[in-house]
Structure 1
Amino acid sequence: MKKFLSSQLSIITYSFRWTIIVLPVGIAIGSVVALFLWLLNMAIHYRFLHSWLLYLLPVAGIVIHFLYKLYGRSAERGNNLIIDEIHEPGAGVPKRMAPLILITTVITHLFGGSAGREGTAVQIGGSIADFFAGLFKLNPEDKRLLLTAGIAAGFGAVFGTPLTGTIFAIEVITIGRMQYNALLPCLIAGFAGDATVAAWGIHHTAYHIDVVKTSAEYYSHHLPIDLLLLVKVIFASALFGLASYLFANATHAVKAFSLKLIKIDWLIPVSGGLIIIGLTFLIGKTDYLSLGVEPQHPGAATIVSAFQQNGADLFSWLWKLIYTAITLGTGFKGGEVTPLFYIGATLGNTLAGFLNAPVSLFAALGFIAVFAGSTNTPLACTLMGIELFGGEHAMLFAVACFTAYFFSGDSGIYTAQRKENDKIENGYWDRLFGKYKR
């Protein structure tokens, strides 16, 4: 009994200590993310009213390049630096990372670059968490936990998904292993960040899945399952995984090719900006610039429109993939996740037409599954489906995210991710089919 009471007291002390540490961190991160979202919204709508700003994208690229050259130093590595610091604390996360990524992301979107906002929020979270770790004089192990909580706060705040932010933070660090001792700090940070953004009056985009009508239902022990629909979901999710693989490798390839081909480094973002301008003239529409959440003109393909019949073109997903790979691969700043939402939702819209499947459901499945495959975080993305779209299709969310995760290969958008276990055991296929070999 004495041992049990001592254990309970330790739990209470641990919880109280981390609440005191994490709450101000989450509130600070949430406040900066709220400022970022407000500035980003202003920048995007200003460009909507002044389309000529796109022509200055190459100049914006030069400004971003020299800002990082003069002030960025290690901050140039972005999310990967934070992940490395969690694995092996070193020089720390520079304090300049938060203002630098905030400013340069807003510049990218103001002039039409195709990027996201998750990377910015995560870097804001990591930079502020590192500052507080020094302020509180935390030991290396506690600093790791606080940096992980900073990721949760940034992610939860920028998308309005605190539970997803919690699981994402502990799942993204290492493929195949989750850091459960970070669960409580991440949970507190995720909710504090999200609540702070809401308190500042910042609202997130709402998505809706229409009622799904099925011709035949087969019942499991608890959940209704349409077997034909399930087969369609698995097939589509395999393609979502391949899209994840294509996106991750395209972004890395553009960066490697640019560095090899262009010897004057500031010309790399200039070339990226010129290509984006040229592509926009070539296809005759601005749908694939910036976030892709709100339409610049009526009828534009956006993430929201993808949830409707005929809400995306046949290759909207591919164009967005190309635009984003060029933008990020040539040095512009922002995140990858919102473009991944766009790629997934519009690909889901296209596949729904071919498979005679519910459009809004498949857009939602693509939304979370392409993200899951690109970041190797199927649990977090399953939870994101529930937080954003409700729990009615939770099983299909899980099927989509885990299928995409397996089909996305070993690569991902975060090169600093470490791998504890292979997605499929080494030698599995050799053993399975070995008897057929001669």
Structure 2
Amino acid sequence: MKKIIEVTRIILISILIGVILGIAGALFYLCISGATAIRQAHPQFLILLPVGAVLVTLLYQLFKNEDDGGTNRVLESAYSNAPVSLKMAPSIFLSTVFSHLCGASVGREGAALQLGGSLGYNTARLFHLSDREKSFCTCIGMSACFSSLFGTPMAAAIFSIEIAVVGRLNVLCLVPSVIASYISRLIARSVGAPDMKMKMDKATTADPVTLLKVTVIAVSCGLVAMLFCRLLSDGVKLTSLKLKNKYLRALILGSAVFALSLIFPGQTYNGAGVDQIAGFMKGDVLPWQFALKMLFTLISVYAGYKGGEIVPAFYIGASLGAFLGHLLGLPPALACSVGMVSLFCGVTNCPLTAFAIGIEIFGTGTAPFFLLASAFSFFFSGKAGLYSSQKRQVYRAVSD
């Protein structure tokens, strides 16, 4: 009877969290989309990039949230019940929307994990649930917010149970995460947040030559993912060491992003960059686009802008895949999708989620290629990852 009560309670809480994060996630999406539309229509907002980084830093100080740990704290809560401050939710919400308004090259999924984890954990705390149930609710909240923003409920449910510990799935959270993911997505869709869907032109036969070419792209993206993650972590440490005053650091690095925006006009590398992927799917890509997007994203994060790196990683992987596909003679849509899935896998260490997100975004016709890409990218990306608090229970290859 006690077990039945516990299961019933967590299912009911997952429904509640799905509703809460469906509403919060939809509002978050609409605010980010609105901020992006305003900046794209009025490029003069890019001039805010230097002072914007300072304001984001100040916002976190006002919320007394400078040492909240960000996504790393949420992941720690998922496997060890580390407390997640409720203040994380409004601070990451406001700072991410403002970052997109200014034109920083940041995403929204890191913010989604923090927003969802914070609200999920504190919902459990409100109902005085056990420590174990609080950890469950952190995962459930991450799934729900990820799903409401991206429209990929299957991948979102898998992501939250896969990301905290590499090599171990928190399967006990799967059912409530699925429930919350689908509820939040239905709510978000009802208010106008679209699914992240991209149409493949036609199915490609999985012959040995094509599989070999896909493997080349997957390995390349895995290595680039490893480089990106190392530059990210080492760069944050180095800039903090060399520029100890956080406001001066934000001003200088924010100015660097602004300078890059002047050198490369057109906002091609500003913001998340999801709208550029449609062009990559058609083969409209330049050889250096992946490297420039990486540079814009690294400096934006060094400056203190918020939002996350996964959506920029989509851009990096998609543009790199499309370019390599051109060299290898693959259809651009296939090469682009494989690159996007591969780089996502490499930076998150989540091959199952990468496979699922590929299917949900691009359809089942290319599933064999996504499975191959996820496997090889995971193998070759080594220990590198976006989140230092990820635990590992698997042997890794290249960078061990």
TM-score grouping bracket, smaller chain normalisation: over 0.9
Give the equivalent residue in structure 2 for 1:174: 165
- Tell me the number of residue pairs that the alignment of Structure 1 and Structure 2 aligns: 400
Give the equivalent residue in structure 2 for 1:227: 208
Equivalent position to 1:146, from 125, 137, 140: 137
CA-CA distance at 1:231 after TM superposition: 0.4
Give the equivalent residue in structure 2 for 1:45: 37
Change (3 A) 1:10 1:163: farther
1:377 aligns with 2:377: no
Preserved contact between residue 381 and residue 399 of structure 2 (Cα < 8 Å)? no
What is the CA deviation profile of residues 164-221 of structure 1, one whole-angstrom value per residue up to 9, with x for unaligned ones? 011110110101111111111111111122111112222134311111455xxxxxxx
State the alpha-carbon separation in 2 of the partners of residues 230 and 426 from structure 1.
25
Q: Which runs of 5+ in 2 are unaligned?
A: none
Equivalent position to 1:241, from 213, 222, 225: 222
Give the TM-score taking structure 2 as reference length: 0.96
What is the CA deviation profile of residues 347-378 of structure 1, one whole-angstrom value per residue up to 9, with x for unaligned ones? 11100110011110111111111000100000
Equivalent position to 1:367, from 317, 329, 340: 340
Equivalent position to 1:157, from 142, 148, 160: 148
Give the equivalent residue in structure 2 for 1:217: none
Matched ranges for 1:298-313 at <5 A: 302-309=276-283, 311-313=284-286
Q: Which runs of 5+ in 1 are unaligned?
A: 1-8, 215-224, 295-301, 428-438
State the alpha-carbon separation in 2 of the partners of residues 343 and 362 from structure 1.
13
Aligned Cα RMSD in Å? 1.8
The answer to which structure, 1 or 2, has the higher relative contact order (CA under 8 A, 6+ apart) is 2
Which residue identity lines up with residue 313 of structure 2 in the other structure?
Answer: L
1:187 aligns with 2:178: yes
Matched ranges for 1:48-67 at <5 A: 48-67=40-59
What is the CA deviation profile of residues 127-161 of structure 1, one whole-angstrom value per residue up to 9, with x for unaligned ones? 11112111111111111111111111111111101
For the pair shown, the structure with the greater C-alpha radius of gyration is 1
Which residue identity lines up with residue 84 of structure 1 in the other structure?
Answer: E
State the alpha-carbon separation in 2 of the partners of residues 330 and 422 from structure 1.
34
Matched ranges for 1:5-84 at <5 A: 15-73=7-65, 76-84=68-76
1:252 aligns with 2:224: no
State the alpha-carbon separation in 1 of the partners of residues 244 and 292 from structure 2.
27
State the alpha-carbon separation in 2 of the partners of residues 265 and 102 from structure 1.
21
State the alpha-carbon separation in 1 of the partners of residues 71 and 111 from structure 2.
9
Which residue identity lines up with residue 154 of structure 1 in the other structure?
Answer: C
Matched ranges for 1:310-325 at <5 A: 311-325=284-298
Give the equivalent residue in structure 2 for 1:430: none
What is the CA deviation profile of residues 239-280 of structure 1, one whole-angstrom value per residue up to 9, with x for unaligned ones? 010111111112112211211111221111111211112112
1:391 aligns with 2:382: no
What is the CA deviation profile of residues 39-77 of structure 1, one whole-angstrom value per residue up to 9, with x for unaligned ones? 111111111121111111111111110111221436642
Preserved contact between residue 196 and residue 361 of structure 2 (Cα < 8 Å)? no
State the alpha-carbon separation in 2 of the partners of residues 260 and 152 from structure 1.
35
Which residue identity lines up with residue 278 of structure 2 in the other structure?
Answer: V
Change (3 A) 1:172 1:62: same
Preserved contact between residue 54 and residue 250 of structure 2 (Cα < 8 Å)? yes
What is the CA deviation profile of residues 356-403 of structure 1, one whole-angstrom value per residue up to 9, with x for unaligned ones? 111101111111110001000000110111111111111110100111
1:103 aligns with 2:94: yes
State the alpha-carbon separation in 2 of the partners of residues 213 and 81 from structure 1.
42
CA-CA distance at 1:13 after TM superposition: 5.4
Change (3 A) 1:11 1:209: farther
State the alpha-carbon separation in 1 of the partners of residues 259 and 279 from structure 2.
25
Preserved contact between residue 17 and residue 120 of structure 2 (Cα < 8 Å)? yes
Moved more, 9-18 or 413-422: 9-18
Change (3 A) 1:379 1:205: closer
Equivalent position to 1:87, from 79, 83, 107: 79
Preserved contact between residue 321 and residue 337 of structure 2 (Cα < 8 Å)? yes
Give the equivalent residue in structure 2 for 1:218: none
